[in-house]
Amino acid sequence: MRSSIRSLLGGARTGTGLPFAIEVDGEFAGQLNVSSITYGSLASASIGYWVAERFAGRGVTPTAVALATDYCFAGIDLHRMEICIRPENGPSLRVVEKLGFRYEGLRRRYIHIDGDWRDHFCFALVREEIPEGVLARWRQGRAPTAAGQVPEADVRRAQHPLGSDSE
At residue 80, φ and ψ (nearest 5 deg) are: -140, 135
Q: Residue 166 falls within a domain, yes or no?
A: no
Q: Which domain holds residue 33?
A: 2-158
Q: What is the CATH number of the domain that holds 33?
A: 3.40.630.30
Amino acid making up residue 4: S
Q: Residue 112 falls within a domain, yes or no?
A: yes
- Alpha carbons 8 and 139: distance in angstroms, whole number: 30
Domain count within the chain: 1
pLDDT at 7 over 90: no
Whole-number Cα distances in Å, 83 to 65, 134, 166: 10, 14, 27
Q: Residue 167 falls within a domain, yes or no?
A: no
Q: Residue 84 falls within a domain, yes or no?
A: yes
**Element holding 117 (H helix, E strand):** strand 116-126
Q: Residue 29 falls within a domain, yes or no?
A: yes
- pTM tops 0.85: yes
First-to-last alpha carbon distance for the chain, in angstroms, is: 38
Q: For 14-38, how does the pLDDT look when each residue is reduced to its tens digit (9 = 90+)?
A: 877 999 999 999 999 999 999 999 9
Q: Residue 33 falls within a domain, yes or no?
A: yes
**pLDDT tier, 164 (very low <50, low <70, confident <90, very high otherwise):** low
Q: Residue 163 falls within a domain, yes or no?
A: no
**Residues 34, 43 contacting (CB under 8 angstroms):** no
Q: Residue 72 falls within a domain, yes or no?
A: yes
